[in-house]
Structure 1
Amino acid sequence: MNRQTIARRFPLVSRSRPPGLALAARVAELRKIAEESSGLDDHQRVIRACEVCNKAALIASDCALPELARELCWRQYDAFTQTRPLPVWAGKLALQPVLNIARQLIREGDGDGAYQVLHGLLIAALNRTDTEIVGRRVDLRGLTESPDDHELLSKLLWAALLADGARALALAGRWQEAAEHAAKNRGVGTRLLDGRQVTIVALVERGDIDKAAAMVDETLPAELWEKAVAGLLRVYCLQAVGIGTDEDTTAMILRTLELFEYADPSTAVFRTRVGMTALDLTASYGQEPALRLQRAVMTGAMSDAYASREVLGHASLRSAMTSRQQRAMQAMVQAAGLGSGAIPHGLLVDLMASVARAEAQLIP
């Protein structure tokens, strides 16, 4: 696999996400949350209602229904803004569906569009004006009750631009801009988070391998996953100048295998992507640790539809599967409705009923 293809896997940051369950189970979960929220206090009631709306939009996005996903986001945003100015906690919740539109664009492969959304939101907040988001005007003037509250919302949008903006620019292959974005927003740091990773890849892309390798070595990882990603980046730098060794590769694989000893369902996709990247970096390495990692990646993906989809799309892993493994993963992806372009009628009716019930609870 060529270096550019491997580069597109970065940044790799361990963040929790809902597990890839069957579509019927996800819709049933929304119904349960919506039904149980009515007895809570006002603050918790609104939070749970937002959870229903956000997850419903994610389901629509996963099922390749972008128009429905956007509609659900705007409905949630509009429900909040009917009563502006909002207390700061409600203002943060009101902006989440708009930020989710940027994340939907990232999932759809539109890094340029996602960055435009994130950057536009922050600039509008800082200038206390409005901005256009996929054909809609979003007015950030007077959203909250006080200047201090507005500053807190601006910080929320800054954090979103820092993390999701780096991913969006990387997805678009705009590595130098991603690095400049991280530096400008004080997002490089010493840990191996989004900003530092895109800066390292940008250095490799422009041929400054020594500086990139030094940044990897000077990283101060705080968690096990950062050590695994540091191993990937170290080998990536070495291979860029043709000096990678089996010793370096073995160390990278063993560090990656450690991640699979902690099977947290909320990070299954992250582990899968780290494992696939390690395997991509070992194309000419045929030793036993690579086979162990291959098995670990495939086994780990068997319980999560998102991870199964990733593995099914990886040529070397797919060719290494048994027919039974392939059928099981395909069945899981199909049951989750990923990329299907439709939601079965009964489930769609159920989903929209939960959304309507949640929306009625959204007024803070």
Structure 2
Amino acid sequence: MLDGRQVAVLAALTTGDTERAGELLADTVAGDPWEQLVTTCLVVLCRREAGQPIDAPLTELVETYLDREAEAGFTVFDIRLGLAVLDAIGSAEHPASARLAERLVHRAAEARDGYAAREILGHPLTVSLATDRQEEECQELVRACALGAGAVPDQLHRDLSAALRTSGAVIIHSFAGAEGSDTVRPSAGGVPS
């Protein structure tokens, strides 16, 4: 399910057109496992909005998400998808809610991903389900990644800029096939000579 179809389904749901949303979902061709999870999540939201039973697709959604292996490089997406699943559950009292919230915190911590932890901390239902220790763990991750810490100090900014200029010049030099020395030495200004 590509982004455009997801937006069309959500737009239909936002305007109360559950029939149109249902048609879009019914016409969706099965894709990658993550796309199927997104589709099932939207099916649950659509059925709930239409006043239809959601137990079967909700159970499938939760179990499929919980059984899904985390993919390297997709932690934030995975966490956001899990938060959407929790939104589809819609209640802290649902038997799967606490288990799902725990899994989300575990995945963010295991990946050491501050952005994922920040997403969790920004989701009231997840925070309400998390233990104090889990919430602290997410806060520690956000701090360790310096998210929201402010601006980069001037000297560090200058050093990083010089390193980037040097790296850029080395890359350009290597692509140009420059003759002469194989060693590129930075000049006083940080640009290779």
- Tell me, yes or no, whether TM beats 0.5: yes
Residue among 232, 240, 248 paired with 2:49: 240
> How many Å separate the matches in 1 of 2:105 and 2:76?
12
Contact 1:212 1:237 in 2 (8 A): yes
Residue among 25, 30, 45 paired with 1:216: 25
> How many Å separate the matches in 2 of 1:348 and 1:268?
28
Give yes or no for the alignment of 1:292 onto 2:99: yes
Aligned residue type for 2:82:
G
Q: Which residue of 1 aligns with 2:2?
A: 193
Residue among 168, 171, 175 paired with 1:359: 168
Alignment of 1:1-364 (within 5 A): 192-259=1-68, 262-284=69-91, 286-302=93-109, 303-344=112-153, 347-361=156-170, 363=172
Contact 2:105 2:138 in 1 (8 A): no
After superposition, what is the alpha-carbon deviation per residue over 1:18-73, rounded to whole angstroms, capped at 9, x for unaligned?
xxxxxxxxxxxxxxxxxxxxxxxxxxxxxxxxxxxxxxxxxxxxxxxxxxxxxxxx
Contact 1:246 1:285 in 2 (8 A): no
Contact 2:102 2:130 in 1 (8 A): no
Q: What SS is found at the alignment partner of 1:273? A: helix
> How many Å separate the matches in 2 of 1:209 and 1:342?
45
Unaligned runs of 5+ in 1: 1-191
Q: TM-score, normalised by structure 2?
A: 0.78
> How many Å separate the matches in 1 of 2:19 and 2:13?
9
Q: What SS is found at the alignment partner of 1:343? A: coil
> How many Å separate the matches in 1 of 2:159 and 2:70?
32
* Higher relative contact order (Cα pairs below 8 Å, separated by 6+ residues): 1
Give the C-alpha shift of residue 218 in structure 1.
2.1
Q: How many residues align?
A: 171
Give the C-alpha shift of residue 202 in structure 1.
1.8
Give the C-alpha shift of residue 238 in structure 1.
1.2
Residue 315 to residue 206, structure 1, CA distance change in 2 (3 Å):
closer
Bigger CA radius of gyration: 2
Contact 1:268 1:307 in 2 (8 A): yes
Aligned residue type for 1:249:
L
Q: What SS is found at the alignment partner of 2:167? A: helix
| Structure 1 vs Structure 2 CA RMSD | 2.1
Unaligned runs of 5+ in 2: 176-193
Contact 2:92 2:98 in 1 (8 A): no
Contact 2:97 2:129 in 1 (8 A): no
Residue 350 to residue 265, structure 1, CA distance change in 2 (3 Å):
farther
Q: Identity of counterpart residues, as a percentage?
A: 34
Aligned residue type for 1:357:
T
After superposition, what is the alpha-carbon deviation per residue over 1:149-188, rounded to whole angstroms, capped at 9, x for unaligned?
xxxxxxxxxxxxxxxxxxxxxxxxxxxxxxxxxxxxxxxx
Give the C-alpha shift of residue 330 in structure 1.
1.4
Q: What SS is found at the alignment partner of 2:83? A: helix
